[in-house]
Amino acid sequence: MERRDNYETWRRDWRARFLSQDQAALLEKLPFLRAAEETITVPYFIWAVSLDRTTGVMTAPIRLELYDEMNIYTRLWYSQPGAVAAGEMVPFAQLRHAAPYAPAFQRGNLESLAAAFSGRGKALEKALRALGGRPISGGDVAYEIRVFPDFPVQLRFWDGDDEFPAQVNLLFDRNCTDLIHVESVVTIASQTQRHLERLAAASEAALVD
């Protein structure tokens, strides 16, 4: 119950932060946002997430988890005016300010993602396509997806065998920490895995049916 209460407190705080922002300036800073009279819509992966301009409440075509909401609120809050992508994709550890989080990212994100899809390369590829990915070179499965229109993530997967476990690498634009807080890059990775697992499971269930 305490955890649930903490989640609700966090949501209230971030809704208040969103409402405190100059929305005209926000729309100018992030031109991919779409404004209507009552909502601002954020493209997030393949979904359009709407924020109520008077309450800050999010609605989406899927059930958003707390970390999905966190990714969106922090993107709106932390993105620096004039920040642009570098066009150079690098591992997480090479991002500015990421070094202290790199060992945990390796264990909690990369190794977790690789284990989740070990022996399931075809399911991973279908899920990446369903998440709007486009194929790129490298790995047994390699795709680029867009978390936000200006926020690419590249995933390369090598399946395991009798000698070596499956491996995954995630690459991010070198300047992405100008667009969002570095800790949110971690939650972007975790939610990428969550959505891929959900889409892969749906695909596999359809084959069984």
What is the model's pLDDT at position 12? 94
Which residues have a Cβ under 8 Å from the Cβ of 13 and sit 6 or more positions away? Answer: none
Beta bridge partners of 152: 146
Distances in Å between the Cα of 114 and the Cα atoms of 99, 143, 153, 157, 171 are 21, 15, 16, 7, 14
pTM of the model: 0.93
Give per-10-residue mean pLDDT for the chain (209 aa). 75 96 96 97 98 97 95 96 92 96 96 96 96 96 97 96 91 97 97 97 73
Using one digit for the tens of pLDDT, what is the confidence trace for 109-135? 999 999 999 999 999 999 999 999 999
From the number of C-beta atoms within 10 Å of its C-beta (0-12, 13-18, 19+), residue 87 rates as exposed
CA dihedral 169, 179, 188, 98 (to 10 degrees): 60
First and final CA of the chain: distance in angstroms? 37
* Residue 208 pLDDT: 60
Return phi, psi of residue 15, to 5°.
-65, -40
Q: pLDDT tens digits, residue range 50-80?
A: 999 999 999 999 999 999 999 999 999 999 9
